[in-house]
A = this chain, B = another copy of it.
Amino acid sequence: MSKGEQTQERIVERALQLATRDGLAGLTINRLAVELGLSKSGLFAHFGSKEELQLQVLRAAAQQFQESVVRPALTAPRGEPRVRALLEHWLAWANDSTWPGGCIFVASAVELDDRPGPLREYLVSTQEAFLATLAKVARQAMEVSHFRSDLDPEQFGFDLYAIVLGYHHAKRLLHDVRAEERARNAFDRLIQSART
């Protein structure tokens, strides 16, 4: 890996952390450069535009989410255990101290939902793909008869996603110490209603 690629990776990694706190729009090239001991123009040259930097931040986040949440969960046996593993890794991701400002996707979702453009398009594609994964995992649980055969797997994906959004809200905004407990209760109720 060349020097430039190394630097670029360092920049994106730090930018990702900052973006969880300040949002993608809240990122500023100067602050980022100062934090990393680079010059503003030197950092800028790596991307050519702020939007390209933001896009790479989203890409890096998607990749890390895949590796931290989706892939480990897929090592659990199909069916309910895999669904449960998904929740566990997902909650851990939302709680990961690497992200001082919480989940970048939650932050970006609100930030980008009214701003057409490549950033929004990319974010939407990742979220749709993840929702498809959720539905797929639910469908597998139906196939192994952990879940009832008339379950709507897409609805299950919506329900699960909503729980994590609720968790994020209770934990990060309200600092509710029982947020995780609430999320787990909601999850148990969801699983209960999905069982055969």
Task: Write the residues of chain A forming the contact surface with B, with a CB cutoff of 8 angstroms.
Answer: 21, 23, 25-26, 100-102, 106-107, 109-114, 123-124, 127-128, 131, 152, 154-155, 158-159, 161-163, 165-167, 169-170, 172-174, 182-183, 185-186, 189, 192-193
Asked whether, in the complex, the Cβ of A112 is within 8 Å of the Cβ of B173, the reply is yes
Nearest opposing residue in chain B for A166, CB measure: B162
Asked whether, in the complex, the Cβ of A166 is within 8 Å of the Cβ of B161, the reply is yes
Please give, as numbers and ranges, the residues of chain B lying within 8 Å of A173 by CB-CB distance. 109, 112-113, 123-124, 127
Given contacts A102-B113, A128-B174, contact A165 B158 (CB under 8 A): no
CA–CA, A189 and B110, complex, Å: 26
Asked whether, in the complex, the Cβ of B111 is within 8 Å of the Cβ of A23, the reply is yes
Asked whether, in the complex, the Cβ of A166 is within 8 Å of the Cβ of B158, the reply is yes
Measured CB to CB, the closest approach of chain B to A121, in angstroms, equals: 11
Of the residues B102, B113, B127, contact of A114 by C-beta under 8 Å: B102
Nearest opposing residue in chain B for A131, CB measure: B174
Please give, as numbers and ranges, the residues of chain B lying within 8 Å of A166 by CB-CB distance. 158-159, 161-162, 165-166
CA–CA, A180 and B57, complex, Å: 31
Asked whether, in the complex, the Cβ of B165 is within 8 Å of the Cβ of A169, the reply is yes
CA–CA, A194 and B126, complex, Å: 34
CA–CA, A185 and B157, complex, Å: 12
Please give, as numbers and ranges, the residues of chain B lying within 8 Å of A127 by CB-CB distance. 173-174
Asked whether, in the complex, the Cβ of B113 is within 8 Å of the Cβ of A172, the reply is yes
Measured CB to CB, the closest approach of chain B to A113, in angstroms, equals: 4
Asked whether, in the complex, the Cβ of B128 is within 8 Å of the Cβ of A113, the reply is no
Given contacts A172-B114, A173-B113, A174-B128, contact A186 B159 (CB under 8 A): yes
Given contacts A100-B114, A109-B169, A111-B23, contact A158 B174 (CB under 8 A): no
Please give, as numbers and ranges, the residues of chain B lying within 8 Å of A161 by CB-CB distance. 166, 169-170
Please give, as numbers and ranges, the residues of chain B lying within 8 Å of A111 by CB-CB distance. 23, 110
